[in-house]
Chains A and B, each alone.
Chain A
């Protein structure tokens, strides 16, 4: 297996984790996705590209439904992005970010998880999320502002 391909698969796990914020569930979905890919490959119908893995895993995450952890409720008012935001983010644990993303409604959850994987081009993002450009733009912009509000509430900048 090519190194890049292996890297893609590790990113697939991270995607699952961001979607469900639960390592065991993420692992289960990851394995199920790879099993299906292996089955298809054995049947001579191997997935045509890496996007298939993320689409498949996405639907499994949505099916998985219930979330073990919930992000803390914050004032729904959205704030402007702060210059100090990177410092606030640095203080977070990955798990906290995953909890926040997994708490977002669909399709914003998928859009944010895929976008922050930093794995896809703009066109690929539109393809996997099945969103139109204005919808994706609106969801990401709102997601940033909501995350900033959540940061301000949970990790106040000093």
Chain B
């Protein structure tokens, strides 16, 4: 009886499964676009190979979503029905992509917070403006985002992921042949790769480090003019920007129409700032504008002297603490205080942008006092290490004398 019941249940479940799965078998036909393009070569095969990883495929869109047509028809003539749009011309690509990406209602169904202003921004960019004038060499959507293998910007393999952006922009901007006629340099990417920003991005894997689009914009890419370069830097470097704006340099730079930050730090190749940049030495940037012997020249020298003196004290304190630590003395408290001195040094270096000698002197005085305290603790830690070793030697002498005495006593007793 039980056996019969089981048989019945199996039959019932099988019929139920077939009933539900049959429609999906019937409708889940392979796309005829893919079936045909698979048989083709090179350029016409590429979409089929790249599309499986494409973000559009991942959200459920197919070939017909962009190119139109009916992929369920096996006959090529029937598949290319009246909705078929085929491959857009290069000049039409921005509008082609924007037919979805500028449609708020449509894009909301995929991501409610997605931006839809890419096309309008693009028309404001040099790329967009030149395209409008009929220059088809300029970048369009597919040059930066790829064609059929488009990935989300957060995917490390995406062309627009931070550490791939220099290469993406460099594909055109580093190509002398491609850029011929535009009268702009083609060394930006190479220069950027030498910069402190590239070091942070590529070596420290700091994704917040700026790449091309952080300064130049992305869809609305326009080269910053002299007046706006400083605003670009201020996006991250707020404090030096504010100090500079309040300094006498601001008016002078504006009158002379000199770009602010770039004048001393450069643009694409921004080297790590050093104390040598301040003042009158070989690497000093002040001498670019100020004559030797001028008051500004002397102030810069004074600032540099103060900073170098403080750096020397920090180095000395660090050396003392390291030596004491190696000798086994606990120095975490003075190390903590030394961190405070280092923080003050960073603040002092920042203050140089404001050109106020008084405010720098005030901070240097505070830092000097703290550094002196750390140096004295470091020296005391080293004295402690010496005391420990001396104490050990005295104790060992005492212990070994006792051991020799005991040994002699044992030997005398053994002889007896």
Q: Do A and B come from one complex?
A: no
